[in-house]
Structure 1
Amino acid sequence: MFMGASTKQGYEIAEKSREIVRSLIADKTKELSNEERSIVERIVHSTADPEYADITKMSKDFVRASRNSIENKKDILTDINMVKTGINKYPGEVNCYIKDERTVTIAKEYNITRAAAAIRVAAENDFEGIAVVGNAPTALLEILNLFNKGKINVSSVIGVPVGFVGAAESKKALEQTEIPYLVTEGPKGGTPVAVAAVNSLINLKKE
Structure 2
Amino acid sequence: MSMGASTKQGYEIAEKSRKIVKSLIDHKTRHLAPEERAIVERIVHSTADPEYADITKMSGNFVKESMKSIEEGNDILTDINMVRVGINRYNGEVKCYINHDKAVEIAKNEGITRAAAAMKVAASEGFDGIVAIGNAPTALLEVLKLVKYGDMNVKSMIGVPVGFVGAAESKKALQETEIPYIVTEGPKGGTPVAVAAVNSLINLKKE
- 1:115 is aligned to 115
Matched residue type, 1:205: K
SS of residue in 2 equivalent to 1:172: helix
- 1:130 is aligned to 130
Question: After superposition, what is the alpha-carbon deviation per residue over 1:94-143, rounded to whole angstroms, capped at 9, x for unaligned?
Answer: 00000000000000111110000000000000000000000000000000
In the TM superposition, what is the alpha-carbon distance from 1:2 to its structure 2 partner? 1.2
SS of residue in 1 equivalent to 2:28: helix
Distance of 1:110 and 1:33 partners within structure 2: 43
- 1:152 is aligned to 152
Distance of 1:179 and 1:168 partners within structure 2: 17
- 2:40 is aligned to 40
The total of aligned residue pairs comes to: 207
- 2:177 is aligned to 177
- 1:72 is aligned to 72
- 2:187 is aligned to 187
In the TM superposition, what is the alpha-carbon distance from 1:4 to its structure 2 partner? 1.4
Distance of 2:4 and 2:112 partners within structure 1: 37
- 2:12 is aligned to 12
- 1:63 is aligned to 63
TM-score (norm 1): 0.99
- Unpaired segments of 5 or more residues in structure 1? none
What value does the CA root-mean-square deviation take over the aligned residues? 0.6
In the TM superposition, what is the alpha-carbon distance from 1:15 to its structure 2 partner? 0.2
Question: After superposition, what is the alpha-carbon deviation per residue over 1:50-97, rounded to whole angstroms, capped at 9, x for unaligned?
Answer: 000000000000000000000000000000000000000000000000
**Percent sequence identity over aligned pairs:** 74
TM-score (norm 2): 0.99
Question: After superposition, what is the alpha-carbon deviation per residue over 1:172-195, rounded to whole angstroms, capped at 9, x for unaligned?
Answer: 000000000000000000000000
SS of residue in 2 equivalent to 1:154: strand
Matched residue type, 1:13: I
SS of residue in 2 equivalent to 1:104: helix
Distance of 1:111 and 1:38 partners within structure 2: 40
In the TM superposition, what is the alpha-carbon distance from 1:26 to its structure 2 partner? 0.5
